[in-house]
Amino acid sequence: MNEFELTQTHIQLLRKAVIFWDATEGKVPFIGAYGDSIEGLFSDVGSLLGLPALEKDQYTQEQVQAIEGLIMEMGTVLQIALSCGTIEVGDYSYPNPLLAFYPDGTEMAASEIYLEDYGADRQKTIDFTLRPEHIRLFRRMWAGWLDYAGVAGINSKYPYGDLGYYQADMAEILGMGSEISDELHNQLEYLHQETQPALQVFVRYVELSPGRYTQQEQGSGWC
């Protein structure tokens, strides 16, 4: 059994999370920053701990440990939010946080449909409709701290389960059967890529209460 004390600081940091897309083989969403630059990660997180905005090497060892500890806890915070948080389906708008990563030539990590259908490389505001199927997938996402990437995000090998490939897991979660036609495969792939903007909506607007949460066994939900 695991226990975790979720604080208002965790929730505030979750609200600031910028959702990127791992465009490598895994192709999953993850938290890439907590502000408008990757370089400012430590000062963005440190500000929530009441620390001044400094470069990483300007903080004391104890301050660095506190900041890094909070960042690593966000893997569990994301698990709890996806398992226990509530949010209404419907239409949402939010300022596009990914535009901040363009001025210095940084290549933006975004899913293909996020670029093409939602204009993530040019729109100042993203309009997105959160649907019931997004919520159902969230409840089953394998989220946590990703040691291989050093970020909180979704498991790139098993984003929704372990049936062998994620489209099969998605079909099972959504009650679409076990036979994956080419058409259904494409629909599920599109829906999977939509989890990037869907998760950005979720972390901004999810209702989540601070307090002690309990996970009965590893890999199970927190509610």
Model pLDDT for residues 102-121, shown as the tens digit of each residue = 655 455 688 889 989 998 88
Residues 44, 13: Cα–Cα separation, whole Å: 9
State how far the alpha carbon of 127 is from the alpha carbons of 14, 91, 104, 199, in Å.
20, 7, 25, 13
Q: Is residue 219 part of a domain?
A: no
Looking at residue 102, its pLDDT comes to 66
**Number of domains the chain is built from:** 1
Full residue range of the structural domain in which residue 184 is found: 2-214
Whether 210 has a pLDDT exceeding 70, the answer reads yes
Residues 25, 105: Cα–Cα separation, whole Å: 23
For 102, residues 6+ apart whose C-beta sits below 8 A from its C-beta are: 108, 121
Indicate the pLDDT class of residue 2, thresholds 50, 70 and 90. confident
Indicate the pLDDT class of residue 220, thresholds 50, 70 and 90. low
Q: Is residue 143 part of a domain?
A: yes
Q: Is residue 65 part of a domain?
A: yes
- Report which of residues 203 and 41 the model is more confident about: 203
Q: What is the mean pLDDT of residues 35-43?
A: 82
Looking at residue 152, its pLDDT comes to 96
Q: Give 151-190 pLDDT, tens digit per residue.
A: 999 998 899 988 878 999 999 999 998 888 999 999 999 9
Whether 26 has a pLDDT exceeding 80, the answer reads no
Looking at residue 108, its pLDDT comes to 64
Residues 162, 159: Cα–Cα separation, whole Å: 8
- Report which of residues 39 and 130 the model is more confident about: 130
Strands in the chain per DSSP E = 2-6, 18-21, 29-33, 90-95, 125-130, 143-146, 151-154, 211-215
Q: Is residue 223 part of a domain?
A: no
Strands 151-154 and 143-146: antiparallel
Residues 108, 121: Cα–Cα separation, whole Å: 8
Look at 3-7, 112-116, 139-143, 176-180 and tell me which has the smallest mean pLDDT. Answer: 176-180
What percentage of the chain reaches a pLDDT higher than 70? 94
Phi, psi of 107 (to 5 degrees): -70, 125
Indicate the pLDDT class of residue 18, thresholds 50, 70 and 90. very high
Looking at residue 178, its pLDDT comes to 80
Residues 144, 146: Cα–Cα separation, whole Å: 6
